[in-house]
Amino acid sequence: MKLAFIIDPIHQLDPCHDTSVALMEAAQILGHEVWITQANLLNVVDSKAWAVLQQVELVPVELIEGRWVAANPWYKLGSSLFTALESMDAVFMRTDPPVNDSYLYATYILDYIDQNKTLVINNPNGIRAANEKMYALQFTQAIPETIVSADKKVIRQFVEAKGATVLKPLGNKAGEGILFLQSGDRNFNSIVELSTLQGRLPVMVQNYLPAAKDGDKRIILLNGEPIGALNRLSSGSDFRNNMATGGTVAPTEITAREQEICTLLAEKLRQDGLIFVGIDVIGGYLTEVNVTSPTGIREIDRLDGTHLAHQVIQWLEQVNGNW
């Protein structure tokens, strides 16, 4: 197969952490061509999506004494090729969020790939429909008590009723802008004004889950089925558990309740073409559904001795041409 990956500039990626690199490595090891491009190199010509692609050759990372070690250099680029993306067997949209104008326009361009010929992972329409905070709201039996509002009065009523809450901007990533907000906070007005841009932008406010002190579980789903998980723990100086905020990771198991949540989501994810997804679960509650560039494969493989990226590519081999 010929596989294209839309990524951030490759020299900015961390081969020991980034799931995109793990997927590209697995594809190469399993005998497939790996091509890369960036969102700003996408085009529509003659009503088809085109891109400037470069074939890439990777030196796979090695697990040495419990940590991933990369060669230097760890990749080699071939010459550039301007081609229709439907010449690829699959295209992975792996640009990191936030979903800003550039990201949104890239998904519009990807709409012009003939998906009878080429599978786009994840489906561009599905990405647009699945704000990573808001998407979870349709699964009411799985989420903590939640509101979405830009209205200071509505937010205050909720916070006062719950006592301790978590405020989340709808468009950020990696824990950016998430705040712990409790009743009686003297900074309440300023926090809400800054987060909502003076009432112009809605935010999510959720009941604080005390189980967060025991970690925030990331579960990777492939075509609706869980294939691996890790637990993220805060650094101790920050209530957030995200790896990007200094959190550590630990091995974990998928509980019966978490399997129930995965089953609840599975059919909707498939309907929306959301094939490679990372969900976040705290204390048996679904808090986010990550569809843009979910990560965690490197950490799960290191902790559990798995090869999740290989599972993804092998699944793609099985369905190739049958979507």
Are 149 and 155 in contact by the 8 Å Cβ rule? The answer is yes
Q: Measured between alpha carbons, how far is 220 from 227 in angstroms, rounded to an integer?
A: 6
What does R_g of the chain's alpha carbons equal in angstroms? 20
User: Residue 14's CB: how many other CB atoms inside 10 A?
Assistant: 12
Residues with active-site annotation: 133, 168, 218, 232, 240, 280, 288, 290
The 3-state DSSP class for residue 169 equals: strand
Q: How would you label 162-181 residue by residue, b for 16+ Cβ within 10 Å and e otherwise?
A: beebbbbbbbebebeebbeb
Q: Measured between alpha carbons, how far is 271 from 207 in angstroms, rounded to an integer?
A: 29
**Runs of H (alpha helix) within 114-231:** 124-129, 152-162, 188-195
